[in-house]
Amino acid sequence: MTLWHKVCAAIAVGMALFVAGCGGSAGNGEVVLVTHDSFAIPKEVKAAFEAESGLKLTILQGGDAGETVNRALLTKGNPQGDVLFGIDNNLLSRGLAEGLFQPYASPALAGVDRRFLLDPTHQATPIDYGDVCLNVDRTWFAARGIPPPRTLDELTQHRYRNQLVVENPATSTPGLAFMLATIAHFGPIDWPDYWHRLRANGVLVVDGWEEAYTASFSGAAGSKGTRPIVVSYATSPAAEVIFAKTPPRSAPTATVAGSCFRQIELAGILNGAKNVKGARALIDFMLSERFQAAMPAGMFVLPVRKGTPLPDAFRRYAITPGRPLELPAATIGDNRDRWVDEWTRTVLR
Amino acid sequence: MDANRSSLRRAWLVGAVAVPTAFLALFFAYPLATILERGLTTGDGLALPPGTAGLLWFTFWQAAASTVLTLGVGLPLAWAIGRFRFHGRGLVRAFVLVPFVLPTVVVATAFLALLPEGYERGIPAILAAHVFFNVAVVTRIVGGAWATIDRTTSEAAAVLGASRWRRSREVTLPQLAPALSAASALTFLFCFTSFGVILILGGPTRSTLETEIYNQAARLYDLHAAAVLSLLQLGAVTLVLVVTSALESRLSGAESAADERDVLRRPSGLERPALAAVLAVAAVVLALPLLVLVGRSLGAWGTLFRETPALLVEPWQAAVYSISFAGVAALIALTIGGLAALALARRPPGALDGLVLLPLGASAVMLGFGFLIAFDEAPLDFRSAWWLVPVAQALVAAPFVVRIVAPALRSIDPRLREVAATLGAPPSRGWREIDLPLAGRAFAIAAGFAFAIALGEFGATVFIARSEQPTLPVAIFRFLGRPGAQNQGTAAALAVVLAGIAVVAALAAERAAEGRGRVL
Amino acid sequence: MLAVRDAQVVLEGHLALAGVDLDVSEGTVLAVLGPSGSGKSTLLRAIAGLQRLENGTIELDGRSLAGVPPHRRGIGLMFQDDALFPHRDVAANVGFGLRMQGMAPNAAATRVAELLALVGLSDRNRQAVASLSGGERKRVALARALAPSPRVLLLDEPLGALDRELHDRLLGELKRLFDATQQTAVYVTHDAAEAFALGSQVAVMRDGRIVQVATPGRLWAEPTDGWVARFIGLANVEQDGQTVTVTRPEGVTLRPDADGTAVLVSAERDGPLVTLRARRENGREIVAVYVGLAPPSPGTRVTVEVDPGAVIEVPTGR
The alpha-carbon gap from B256 to the nearest alpha carbon of chain A, in Å, equals: 43
CB atoms under 10 Å from CB of B351, counted, come to 15
* Alpha-carbon gap, residue A166 to B152, rounded angstroms: 62
- Taking a C-beta distance cutoff of 8 angstroms, is the pair B149, B112 a contact? no
pLDDT at A24 > cutoff 50:
no
- The DSSP secondary-structure symbol of B265 reads B
Does the pLDDT of residue A319 top 90, yes or no? no
Per-residue pLDDT at A17 exceeds 50: no
Please report the sign of the dihedral spanned by the C-alpha atoms of residue A318, residue A322, residue A323, residue A328: positive
Q: Compute the Cα dihedral for C204, C205, C206, C209 and give only its sign.
A: positive
CB-CB neighbors (< 8 A) of A199 in chain B: none
Q: Residue B451's closest CA among B363, B323, B312? A: B323
Residue A312 has pLDDT above 80, yes or no: yes
Quote the CA–CA distance of B223 and B218 in Å, as a whole number.
9
Interface of C with B in 207-266 (CB under 8 A): none
Q: Give B252's pLDDT tier (boundaries 50, 70, 90).
A: low
Low pLDDT (below 70) residues in chain C: 317-318
Residue B156 clears pLDDT 70, i.e. is over it: no
Predicted TM-score (pTM) of the model is 0.76
Indicate the residue of B416, B421, B433 with minimum beta-carbon distance to C70. Answer: B421
Range among A16-30, A121-135, A327-341, B195-209 with highest mean pLDDT value: A121-135
Residues 6+ apart with CB under 8 A from A230: A134, A135, A164, A165, A166, A212, A213, A216, A217, A219
Rounded to whole angstroms, the Cα distance separating A326 from B301 reads: 42
Q: Do A40 and B309 touch (CB under 8 A)?
A: yes
Query: Do C273 and C289 contact (CB within 8 A), yes or no?
Result: yes
Between positions 429 and 448 of B, the ones with CB within 8 A of C are 429-430, 433-434, 437-438, 440
Substitution target in B220, B294, B312, B377 with the highest count of A β-carbons within 10 Å is B312
Q: Name the band, by pLDDT with cuts 50, 70 and 90, for residue B1.
A: very low
Inter-residue contact C129 to C90 (CB < 8 Å): yes
* Continuous H helices in C257-316: none
Cα C147 from Cα C112, distance rounded (Å)? 7
Window from A319-323, B132-136, C71-75, C184-188 with minimum mean pLDDT = A319-323
With CA atoms as reference, report the closest residue to B133 among B353, B490, B480, B452. Answer: B452
The mean pLDDT of chain B is 81
Report the residue of chain B nearest A207, measured CA to CA. Answer: B204
Confidence of residue A207 (pLDDT cuts 50, 70, 90): confident
| Neighboring chain C residues of B423 at a CB cutoff of 8 Å | 71, 76, 96-97, 100, 144-145, 147-148
Neighbors of chain C with 3 or more C-beta pairs under 8 Å: B
Contact B484 A348 (CB under 8 A): no
Can you give the pLDDT at residue B57? 93
Average confidence (pLDDT) over A215-234: 86
Q: With a CB-CB cutoff of 8 Å, which residues 360-389 of chain B face chain A?
A: 368-369, 372-373, 376-377, 381-387
Contact yes or no for B422 and C50 at CB 8 A:
yes
Give alpha helix (H) positions in chain A: 3-20, 43-53, 65-74, 92-97, 138-144, 173-200, 209-210, 236-242, 276-286, 289-299, 312-317, 329-347
SS3 state of residue C211? strand
Q: What is the DSSP letter of C295?
A: P
- Asked if B321 reaches chain A (Cβ–Cβ under 8 Å), the answer is yes
pLDDT of A19 reads 41
Please say whether the beta carbons of C20 and C4 come within 8 A.
Answer: yes
Question: Per-residue confidence at A14, pLDDT binned at 50, 70, 90?
Answer: very low
* C38/C17 Cα distance (integer angstroms): 8
Q: Which of B300, B380, B303, B322 is nearest to B102 (CA)?
A: B322
- Per-residue model confidence as pLDDT tens digits over B49-73: 878 888 899 999 999 999 999 999 9
The pLDDT tens digits for B323-340 are 999 999 999 999 999 989
More confident residue, B159 or A131: A131
The DSSP secondary-structure symbol of B321 reads H
Q: What interface predicted TM-score (ipTM) does this complex get?
A: 0.84
In this prediction, residues B200-208 reach a mean pLDDT of 76
Partner residues linked to A130 by β-bridges: A263
Interface test with C, best of B9, B262, B422 (most C CBs within 10 A): B422
Q: C223 preceded by cis ω (within 30°)?
A: no
Chain B interface, best mutation among C44, C71, C142, by max B CB count within 10 A:
C71
- Inspect the interface and report whether the beta carbons of A11 and B320 lie closer than 8 Å: yes
Q: Residue B388: is its pLDDT beyond 90?
A: no
pLDDT of residue A112: 93
Are the Cβ atoms of A70 and B221 closer than 8 angstroms? yes
Lowest mean pLDDT among A25-39, A80-94, C127-141: A25-39
CB contact under 8 A, C87 and B438: yes
Question: Quick one: pLDDT at residue B151?
Answer: 65
| Residue A232 predicted with pLDDT over 90 | yes
What local confidence, expressed as pLDDT, does residue B5 receive?
A: 44
CB B393 within 8 A of CB B326: yes
Q: In this complex, which chains have at least 3 CB pairs below 8 Å with chain B?
A: A, C
Listing DSSP states for B358-394 in one string gives GGGGS-HHHHHHHHHHHSEETTEE-TT-TTHHHHHHH
Give the DSSP H/E element, type plus range, for residue C155: strand C152-156
Q: What are phi and psi of B161, to 5 degrees?
A: 95, 15
User: Crossing angle for the helix pair C164-181 and C134-146, nearest 10 degrees?
Assistant: 20
Q: Which residues of B fall within a CB distance of 8 Å from C87? A: 437-438, 440, 519-520
Cβ atoms of residues A304 and A126 within 8 Å: yes
Q: Which residue has the higher pLDDT, B428 or A142?
A: A142
Q: With helix as H, strand as E and coil as C, how does A221-254 read? A: CCCCCCECEEEEECCHHHHHHHCCCCCCCCCCEE
Nearest to A236 among B204, B385, B483 (CB): B483
C308 contacts: CB under 8 Å, gap ≥ 6: none
Q: Is pLDDT of B153 > 80?
A: no
Please give the pLDDT value at position B158. 64
| Residue B164 pLDDT exceeds 50 | yes
- pLDDT single digits (tens) A257-273: 889 999 999 999 999 99
Chain B residues whose CB is inside 8 A of the C71 CB are 420-427, 429-430
Mean pLDDT of A42-50: 91
Question: How are beta strands C29-33 and C201-206 bridged, if at all?
Answer: parallel
Which pLDDT score, from 0 to 100, does residue A16 have?
45
Are A23 and B386 inside 8 Å of each other by CB? yes
Q: How far apart are CA B326 and CA B472, in angstroms?
A: 11
Give the B window 386-415 contacts with A, CB below 8 Å: 386-387
Could you report the per-residue pLDDT of C190-217, keeping only the tens digit for each?
A: 999 899 999 999 999 999 999 999 999 9
**Euclidean distance between CA atoms B196 and B374, whole angstroms:** 26
| Planar angle of CA B7, B13, B18, nearest 5 degrees | 115
Q: Is B294's pLDDT higher than 80?
A: yes
Contacts 24+ apart (CB under 8 A), B503-506: B503/B94, B503/B95, B503/B97, B503/B98, B505/B448, B505/B451, B505/B452, B505/B455, B506/B93, B506/B94, B506/B97, B506/B448, B506/B449, B506/B452
Higher pLDDT, B165 or A277: A277
